[in-house]
Amino acid sequence: MKIAIVTDKSREKYIPLEEAQLEDEQKEQTVKAIKEILSKQYQCISLIADDNIIQALRTEKVDLVFNLCNGIQGYSRLAQLPAMLEFANIPYTGASVLGHALAINKIFASTVFKSKNIPTPNFVSIHNMEDLENIDMKYPILIKPSDEGSSRGIHQDSLVFNKESLEKKVKEELNIYNPPIMLNEYIDGREFSVGILGNDEDITILPIQEVDLSNLPNNLLKFYSFEIKSYYKSHTQYHIPANLTLEEKTLIEKAALKAYKSLHLKDYARVDIILSDGIPYVLEINSLPGLMKNKSSLYRMAEATDFGYKGLILKIVDAARKRYNM
């Protein structure tokens, strides 16, 4: 069996250079680590997605694509490679076209959560500056792109406490990222990540991770911003498994699994949740979460289990193979 790990070209022309450089570095290291694992059990190559990717996969006689493509530009870019692969009838890991298209757009995802009675923060979508005139939200408000992951576009100044700061930040975001921009009710509570593997009834929930920001310098706002993810790892503590009562753990896992299934996700994902006053608010789902060795949340969660990082990667492939009856 031959597997191709497929990633994107650089997005440095389309997002801030600092964010693009970190993204490129993470992709390179992730491909290297995954290829090392898969090559011991399968034929494995790596390819960069371009206009000729389908022809390249056919020429290489690839049986399964390990999809790591975020896409370069467009409103549903995370779904672009899956759509091409489905058109060409080439199996791939991870969410389908529909799953990625819903999950990448935090506004659509939150709308689905609301319809399924899954707790999620209140939100408003902003297409232009005029949309700010009649918003009815309490401060502080968290401003974020509706279709980015890994805290891209969510910086320390994205949490605003007055209208002047709100207008300034929204204008900046509209100039960089795809509209609409999302305004989120800020929920103060404990932050958790839940890793989910598998499909249908064959699902594994990894040990829950709590993100502890209590050791950050006093000059930083204590929410999981791009700066904190990128430059304050040494000040961030990850408790795995999280210190939760059985009731809290059950609430979080049920909310995460319900959210995962509501977006029709496949093989694996990461659900981010804030627990506040006993309510697990689903912030978002990453349908293509990072798999970087020694760094990503899923890596840390997997390492807290018997199968570890190697088992995580192989389990993703096994889940996809089972879906396709390979």
Torsion region of 142: left, alpha or beta (phi above 0 gives left; psi -120 to 50 gives alpha): beta
Q: What is the pLDDT of residue 221?
A: 83
CATH 2.60.120.260 applies to domain 2-93: no
pLDDT score at 155: 87
159-194: b (≥16 Cβ within 10 Å) or e: bbeeeebbeebbebbbeebbebbbbbbbbeebbbbb
Q: Angle CA(163)–CA(167)–CA(172) in degrees, nearest 5?
A: 150
Query: CA 171, 137, 15 angle in degrees (round to 5)?
Result: 30
Q: Which residue has the tokens 């009815």?
A: 136
Ranges for all domains in the chain classified under CATH 3.30.470.20:
102-119+188-323
Which run of H or E residues covers position 171? Answer: helix 163-176
- The residue assigned the tokens 């930083």 is 220
Predicted local confidence at residue 203, as pLDDT: 97
CB 116 within 8 A of CB 256: no
Residue 260: exposure state from Cβ atoms within 10 A (0-12, 13-18, ≥19): buried
Write down the pLDDT at residue 149: 61
CATH 3.30.70 fits 123-185, yes or no: no
pLDDT at 102: 93
Return residue ranges of the chain for CATH 3.30.1490: 123-185
Residue 147 CA to residue 124 CA, distance in Å, equals 14
The whole-model pTM stands at 0.89
Long-range contacts of 79-87 (CB under 8 A, 24+ apart): 79/104, 81/6, 81/49, 81/53, 84/53, 84/54, 85/54, 87/54
Homologous superfamily of domain range 102-119+188-323: ATP-grasp fold, B domain (3.30.470.20)
Q: What is the pLDDT of residue 98?
A: 95
Task: Give the chain's end-to-end CA distance (angstroms, integer).
Answer: 10
Nearest alpha-carbon partner for 69 in 90, 89, 43, 95: 95
Q: What is the pLDDT along the chain (326 residues), one digit of tens a residue?
A: 999 999 988 766 666 666 667 777 888 899 999 999 999 999 999 999 999 999 999 999 999 999 999 887 777 888 999 999 999 999 999 999 999 999 988 999 999 999 999 999 999 999 999 899 888 899 999 998 887 665 667 888 899 999 999 999 999 889 888 788 999 999 999 999 999 999 999 999 999 999 998 888 887 887 878 788 777 878 889 999 999 999 999 999 999 999 999 999 999 999 999 999 999 999 999 999 999 999 899 999 999 999 999 999 999 999 999 999 99
Helix (H, G, I), strand (E, B) or coil at 242: coil
Cβ–Cβ < 8 Å for 205, 195: yes
- What residue spans in the chain does CATH classification 3.40.50.20 cover? 2-93
